[in-house]
Amino acid sequence: MSLKSIVRELREMRDGIGSMSRRAADGRAGGGRGGSRHSWPGLWSEQQQPPPPQQQLQRQEHQQQQQGRWANLPPELLLDVIQRVEASEATWPARRQVVACAAVCRSWREVTKEVVKTLEECGRITFPISLKQPGPREHPVQCFVRRDRATSTYLLYLGLSPSLHGENDKLLFAARKIRRATRTSFVISLVSNDFSQSSSTYVGKLKPNFLGTKFTIFDSQPPCDAVVLPNNRPSKRHFKQVSPRLPLGNYNVATVSYELTVLRNRGPRRMQCTMHSIPALCIQEGGKAPTPTGIIHSLDEQVPALSTSKGKEPAIEFSSTSLSADLSGPVCTNEVPLVLKNKAPRWHEQLQCWCLNFRGRVTVASVKNFQLVASVDPSLGIPAAEQEKVILQFGKIGKDIFTMDYRYPLSAFHAFAICLTSFDTKPACE
């Protein structure tokens, strides 16, 4: 059987279990909200409360009837099939076929876990957990941000630049600026039509201070191998614990600070990012940044629901707990945290402006443009070459269109949250 025939059979089987998935989605509280055509419909199923034993048994029997012939494939043949699919479908939207392979049955999920490497190793975004994993070391992950001024929404897409019609653009994250009486905040979601912190698509948020000089990045999940410092401030809000496996709250994973400008001198912004969950030594050769793998392992526990509708591609659903409380204490590792600073631009006498080499990725001058490099203590012995590497760069290429390129040790979530700080008003910095 050819590879195309196998993929076609997978699609037919997926269409057959679509009605079951829709019925299951209708019965879940908080479910049923979708995203755009190529957006993540939910988060990691690892945090969902398990269904009753009787419902689990009925679901397993139904799945065995629908997927029995695929579960009995010889291991060598199954490994070869998934390796071929993973190698051939390297870009989105075609890469959704790899996610579909992981949703067939338990044996397919086990093999898919072995074949699909982390983002640092393979450089390909596959599952939603890839957005929380460090980027590759050799080359940056190239994305672009589209700003909607009318709705104060910011959409992060994977790719070099927007496509002509936008149909093939892969949505990674969406953020919305929430305006309040004294300050603003940004809520980050996996879809562009649901920014509720009680939603399964909620990922994190960004909170500035009153002057817009300091921003705190909160993650909905605790980072790997990290300790959350206790928050001594009393909270007036009370929340119900949704999942016993995960503490309730938002986790302070990074802080972005802008230098206060007293004399209002015109020039580029000066910023510094302290990554509480990333050790500084991870950027040296042989260093290792925390790499979550929860979504891949969570595929063992439950087959993701596949929902289909006429004219739209099937969507892989992952669920999440609702996290709303703030753990204001930063998440800390046992090592010195990584600190990033913006690369100092040079003054161009002929152009009479500040200049940075964005290697063709930025074409419009803007105060929002920046490049971040590591700022480490000399006692750590980090080579100078590693400190000169641009870890994150962000810049404007058109009206409401910006490019964002990030690499190891930052994840897409870290990079997007840092870039969102450029869109907030900073009366004390300009």
Q: In this predicted model, what pLDDT tens digit does every residue of 346-395 receive, in sequence order?
A: 887 787 777 888 888 998 988 899 999 998 888 878 888 888 899 999 99
pLDDT of residue 305: 35
Please give the residue that has the higher pLDDT: either 134 or 70. Answer: 134
pTM comes to 0.76
- Ordered by start, the domain boundaries in the chain are 68-116, 128-224+247-284+333-429
Residue 224 pLDDT > 50 = yes
> Whole-angstrom Cα distance, residue 245 to residue 239?
16
**What integer pLDDT is reported at residue 85 of this predicted model?**
92
First to last CA, the chain: 64
Cα angle: 298, vertex 157, 38; to 5 degrees: 60
- Would you state the structure tokens that stand for residue 199, as one six-digit string? 């939603």
pLDDT tens sequence across 290-339: 898 764 433 333 333 333 333 443 333 333 333 334 455 566 566 889 99
The model's pLDDT over 9-48, given as tens digits with 9 standing for 90+, comes to 666 655 554 444 444 444 444 444 344 445 555 434 433 4
Region label for 298, one of left (φ > 0), alpha (ψ between -120 and 50) or beta (otherwise): alpha
For residue 353, give Cα distances in angstroms to 208, 347, 348. Answer: 29, 6, 6
Specify the CATH number of the domain 128-224+247-284+333-429: 3.20.90.10
pLDDT tens figures, 148-158:
999 999 999 99
User: Model confidence at 212, in pLDDT bands (50, 70, 90)?
Assistant: confident
**Residue of 101, 102, 20 whose CA lies nearest to 62:** 20
pLDDT confidence of residue 65:
57
